[in-house]
Structure 1
Amino acid sequence: MAAVLVTGMSGAGKSTVLAELARRGHPVADTDLGGYVQSVPVPGRAEPERLWRADRIDALLDRYAADTLFVAGCVANQGRWYPRFAAVVLLTAPIDVLLARVAARPTNPFGRTAAERARIVADTAAVEPLLRAGATLEIDTRRPVPDVVRVVTAAAR
């Protein structure tokens, strides 16, 4: 199996990279879609925690066990599945780039309000170092998309 996880903060380019991989004929799964994520209440926090549903992620990875599959997502429990991925690719960009991207993207409304932008800033400071610690490869997505996709594709080998 050569499943590759493409992860990163909001605006890092996960959806863009996945779309280009799909355009090139690669199997892809965006875990923000299709019921892969559940929201779980966290005591003392106003916002629930986004977690992968184990049954759905396991079934997805089992279904593509003989193929290369590119999976995109960023949830609190994704590290549980790192052993099942050939590579964990962290997409990064400076915070000003992330905020500009989320403000302009047509496909996802998250990041348009001041509160959501503040959350992106806070999450990037708190979560991105954790993602970096578990990643096998980090790519700055200020590079042209074809270059990023070429590196992500190579990570599957």
Structure 2
Amino acid sequence: MAKVLITGMSGTGKSSALELLAERGHRTVDTDTEAWSHWVSDEDGEPDWVWREQAITELLTGHGEGDLFVAGCKSNQADFYPLFDHIVLLSAPAEVLLARIAARTTNPYGKTPEERAAILEHLAFVEPLLRESATLEINTTAPLAEVVRQLAFLT
């Protein structure tokens, strides 16, 4: 009964991995919805899309059967690390991320030059922080089935 956080930059394959894990019968939660996340102002007054603390706490403490895979990359996620059994960083080179984002049709984020610049900035400054706290890193240039096999192996 493992609780696994799947994190990483935009375009690493978090949503695709969740989809395949769900098809294989695992419980999955994509936190990039208003049910799980909301906008706040950070200490600089800038907008920040963070996890809803009560909703995530209830999800993680109330989970009691089977494995749970939660995907997201939020500035407050480290507050919840003690409630997870594994923190998995999905990663890929910048050119792979940008190509995936340009081609995807399920998420409009990353289509503008400003958003693409933000993705590269996050890759340079946020991903190393995620790497420090991850219990496992998976390079998602591997086929999706292999990525999901490695995730499922954790449970």
Normalised TM-score (structure 1)? 0.94
The Cα shift of 1:40 comes to 1.1
Percent identical among aligned pairs is 51
The Cα shift of 1:49 comes to 1.4
Matched, 1:128 2:145: no
Letter of the 1:58 counterpart: T
**What are the superposed Cα offsets for residues 71-126 of structure 1, whole Å, 9 maximum, x if unpaired?**
00000010111111111110000001011111111110000000000000001111
Residue aligning to 1:33: 33
CA contact (8 A) 2:61 2:83 kept: no
The Cα shift of 1:43 comes to 4.7
Residue correspondences, number: 155
Residue aligning to 1:79: 78
Structure 2 CA distance for aligned equivalents of residues 17 and 42 of structure 1: 30
Q: How does 1:56-95 map to 2 (within 5 A)?
A: 56-95=55-94
Q: Secondary structure at the match of 2:115?
A: helix
Letter of the 1:14 counterpart: K
Matched, 1:143 2:138: no
Normalised TM-score (structure 2)? 0.95
Residue aligning to 2:53: 54
Q: Which runs of 5+ in 1 are unaligned?
A: none
Q: Which runs of 5+ in 2 are unaligned?
A: none
Divergent runs of 4+, >2 A: 42-45
Letter of the 2:40 counterpart: V
Residue aligning to 1:115: 114
Structure 1 CA distance for aligned equivalents of residues 148 and 98 of structure 2: 22
**What are the superposed Cα offsets for residues 17-63 of structure 1, whole Å, 9 maximum, x if unpaired?**
00000111110000002521111113545x41121111000111133
